[in-house]
């Protein structure tokens, strides 16, 4: 247990992607936790951003951005651990976090808003959640815009459905044999995947049926992640190993996700070549990035933040000793992630408080 005098408070919602990621990590850490329905105005006043979730700590600090929240939790409460330190599993966690946070957003917006029945049921749910259909519909109208901004258009629907099927079938095969992504213990990778897979796929009407009918091992994994009881868990795979079932999922993730991440990086870097000012905050979103997905070409509004997420893969990868990096390269050869790992950014982003600013490239 990690007791504190006062609770950590998670300000979120059950429908929320990133709330699911933080919740699972906080439950696993066995901290004194209270969950509160998010008051977006309170979050905005305390962070400058209307993003969900936020966390208030026992000391009264406010944290935002689940990547920072999970890093801070791991630093304060290292046991039970969420972050493997062995090179291959560490980089796999980073890849899966970025894949889940950035790439899976398109499929998650598709399952929620991509059919009339799905949209109608989510509008009713938003009405119930906010206490009035008028407010719920207002929030839903924003989300429908967000759906198109991440490329989840009707034309792309068949490609996205195929992408979801491939993810669920490889994850089902993996979770049929293993409790969690890295074996018998949860990690950052499980927390990140719970964002789209629990909060969207599993709580949305039609995709919940899809999971129950075609991906029962994934549902079993959701149950375990939601009630983690960390002391009953075992260990991560021994000797920094990755089983074939996990490599199969990583290959779907790399094949479908790496082209998007590289396309986003290119748009951000081209924009930054002309516009970046050291120490200054860029706009949140810039032009469209285009990427191929299973026979379709999708377009997404590029958020500069995506480069900061890509740095979360490249920073630990580049910090490895050469021999460890070679081990990672060998383990991930053929998964489609090679070009992301080989990518050398021309610009750097850092957090200044809750703001993202351009910074000097490290030497």
Tell me the number of residues near ligand GSH by CB under 6 A: 9
Residue 98 or 210 having the CB closest to ligand GSH? 98
CB atoms within 10 A of CB 76: 13
- The conformational region for residue 183 under phi > 0 = left, psi -120 to 50 = alpha, else beta, is left
Question: CA–CA separation, 84 vs 325, rounded Å?
Answer: 15
51 scored as a contact of ligand GSH (CB under 6 A): yes
* Distance of closest approach, residue 16 Cβ to ligand GSH, in angstroms: 4
Assess contact for 22 and 76: CB atoms under 8 A.
no
Question: CA–CA separation, 342 vs 347, rounded Å?
Answer: 15
Residue 67 or 106 having the CB closest to ligand GSH? 67
Residue 294 or 301 having the CB closest to ligand GSH? 301
Assess contact for 261 and 336: CB atoms under 8 A.
no
Nearest in space to 201 (alpha carbons), one of 173, 246, 156, 167: 167
Angle between helices 133-149 and 116-130 (to 10 degrees): 130
CB atoms within 10 A of CB 280: 11
Assess contact for 265 and 345: CB atoms under 8 A.
yes
Q: Three-state SS for 296?
A: strand
Give me the 61-100 binding string for ligand GSH, x by CB under 6 A, dash otherwise: ----xxx---------------------------------
Indicate which single residue of 52, 149, 191, 225 sits in contact with ligand GSH (rule: CB under 6 A).
Answer: 52
* Distance of closest approach, residue 60 Cβ to ligand GSH, in angstroms: 20
The residue number whose beta carbon is nearest to ligand GSH equals 66
18 scored as a contact of ligand GSH (CB under 6 A): yes
335 scored as a contact of ligand GSH (CB under 6 A): no
Question: What is the b/e burial string over 225-240, where b = at least 16 CB atoms within 10 angstroms of the residue's CB?
Answer: beebebeebeebbeeb
What does DSSP assign to residue 230? G
Question: CA–CA separation, 137 vs 124, rounded Å?
Answer: 8
Indicate which single residue of 9, 10, 16, 174 sits in contact with ligand GSH (rule: CB under 6 A).
Answer: 16
Q: Can you name the residues that pair with 303 across neighbouring β-strands?
A: 285
Q: What token pair was written down for 177?
A: 């044999």
Distance of CA 145 to the CA centre of its chain: 20
Q: Three-state SS for 354?
A: coil
Binding segment (CB under 6 A) for ligand GSH, from list 48-56, 114-122, 177-185, 237-245: 48-56
Residue 88 or 103 having the CB closest to ligand GSH? 103
* Distance of closest approach, residue 13 Cβ to ligand GSH, in angstroms: 8
Residue 50 or 128 having the CB closest to ligand GSH? 50
Binding segment (CB under 6 A) for ligand GSH, from list 15-23, 107-115, 118-126, 180-188: 15-23
Residue 67 or 187 having the CB closest to ligand GSH? 67
* Distance of closest approach, residue 64 Cβ to ligand GSH, in angstroms: 7
Residue 50 or 278 having the CB closest to ligand GSH? 50
In what helix (H) or strand (E) does residue 300 lie, and over which residues does it extend? strand 296-303
Residue 17 or 236 having the CB closest to ligand GSH? 17
Binding segment (CB under 6 A) for ligand GSH, from list 11-19, 91-99, 207-215, 328-336: 11-19
Q: What token pair was written down for 299?
A: 């377009």
Residue 28 or 63 having the CB closest to ligand GSH? 63
* Distance of closest approach, residue 303 Cβ to ligand GSH, in angstroms: 9
Indicate which single residue of 8, 17, 63, 83 sits in contact with ligand GSH (rule: CB under 6 A).
Answer: 17
Distances (CA, A) of 38 to 11, 22, 130, 229, 306: 4, 13, 10, 25, 24
222 scored as a contact of ligand GSH (CB under 6 A): no
Residue 50 or 277 having the CB closest to ligand GSH? 50
Q: Which residues bind ligand GSH (CB under 6 A)?
A: 16-18, 50-52, 65-67
């Amino acid at each position: 247990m990690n007791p504190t005098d006062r609770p950590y408070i998670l300000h979120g919602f059950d429908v929320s992607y990133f709330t699911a990621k933080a919740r699972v990590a906080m439950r696993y850490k066995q901290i004194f936790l209270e969950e509160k329905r998010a008051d977006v105005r309170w979050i905005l006043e305390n962070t400058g951003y209307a993003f969900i979730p936020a966390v208030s700590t026992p000391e009264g600090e406010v944290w935002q951005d689940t990547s920072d929240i999970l890093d801070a939790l791991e630093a304060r409460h290292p046991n039970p651990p969420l972050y493997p330190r062995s090179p291959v599993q560490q980089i796999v966690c980073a890849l899966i976090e970025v894949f889940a946070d950035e790439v899976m957003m398109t499929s998650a917006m598709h399952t929620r808003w991509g059919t009339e029945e799905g949209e109608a049921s989510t509008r009713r749910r938003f009405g119930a959640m906010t206490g009035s259909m008028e407010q719920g519909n207002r929030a839903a109208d924003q989300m429908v815009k967000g759906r198109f901004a991440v490329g989840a258009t009707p034309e792309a629907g068949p490609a996205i459905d195929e992408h979801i099927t491939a993810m669920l079938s490889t994850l089902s095969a993996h979770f049929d044999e293993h409790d969690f992504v890295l074996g018998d213990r949860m990690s950052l990778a499980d927390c990140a995947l719970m964002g789209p897979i629990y909060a969207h796929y599993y709580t949305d009407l039609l995709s919940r049926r899809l999971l129950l009918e075609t991906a029962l091992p994934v549902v079993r994994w959701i149950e375990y992640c939601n009630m983690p009881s960390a002391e009953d868990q075992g260990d991560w795979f021994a000797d920094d190993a990755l089983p074939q079932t996990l490599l199969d999922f990583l290959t779907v993730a790399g094949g479908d996700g790496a082209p998007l991440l590289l396309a986003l990086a290119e748009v951000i870097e081209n924009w930054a070549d002309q516009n970046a000012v050291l120490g200054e905050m860029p706009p949140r979103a810039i032009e469209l990035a285009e990427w191929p997905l299973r026979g379709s070409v999708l377009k997404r509004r590029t958020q500069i933040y995506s480069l900061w997420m890509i740095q979360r893969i490249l920073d630990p990868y580049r910090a490895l000793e050469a021999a460890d990096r070679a081990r990672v390269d060998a383990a991930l050869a053929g998964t489609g992630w090679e070009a992301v790992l080989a990518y050398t950014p021309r610009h750097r982003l850092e957090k200044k408080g809750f703001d993202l600013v351009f910074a000097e490239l490290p030497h």
